[in-house]
Amino acid sequence: MIASLAGWIELAGGLLIAFGLLTRLAASIASGEMAVAYFLTSFSGKTLNHALSVLDRGLPILNKGELPVLFCFMFLLVVFYGPGRWSIDSLLKGKLRSAATSSSS
């Protein structure tokens, strides 16, 4: 259940972020999901399948949680940075703005 829920977030969220539709919303959800994934699997020792030392918990290179940490920070950066110029979001915003200016003039 929890894994397939995460999988749907990754599939839908990843495609939304990739093409820049509802980018900030999708990225914030995906970033939160990756933080949960890191703490539930890597930090808790599920990935390594043995008891963890303090070093194992603290360093992602040891608990094999490097990828979730990277995704978490990258998507949080996307939340703050925004979709950028080549995205469906900016395309829609440009369309809305031109529609507004053409109706007002």
Binding site for other proteins (CB under 8 A): 24, 59-62, 66-67, 69-70, 73-74, 76-77, 79-82
Q: How far is the CB of 105 from other proteins (least distance, A)?
A: 25
Side-chain half-sphere exposure of 62, counting CA atoms within 13 A = 13
Q: CA 28, CA 32: separation in Å to the nearest integer?
A: 6
The three-class DSSP label of residue 82 is: coil
Q: CA 78, CA 71: separation in Å to the nearest integer?
A: 10
Q: How far is the CB of 67 from other proteins (least distance, A)?
A: 6
Q: Which residue number, 3 or 105, has a Cβ lying nearer to other proteins? A: 3
Entry field: residues in the chain: 105
Q: Which residue number, 39 or 81, has a Cβ lying nearer to other proteins? A: 81
Torsion of CA 2, 8, 11, 17, to 10 degrees: -100
Q: How far is the CB of 44 from other proteins (least distance, A)?
A: 17
Q: Which residue number, 67 or 105, has a Cβ lying nearer to other proteins? A: 67
Q: Which residue number, 54 or 105, has a Cβ lying nearer to other proteins? A: 54
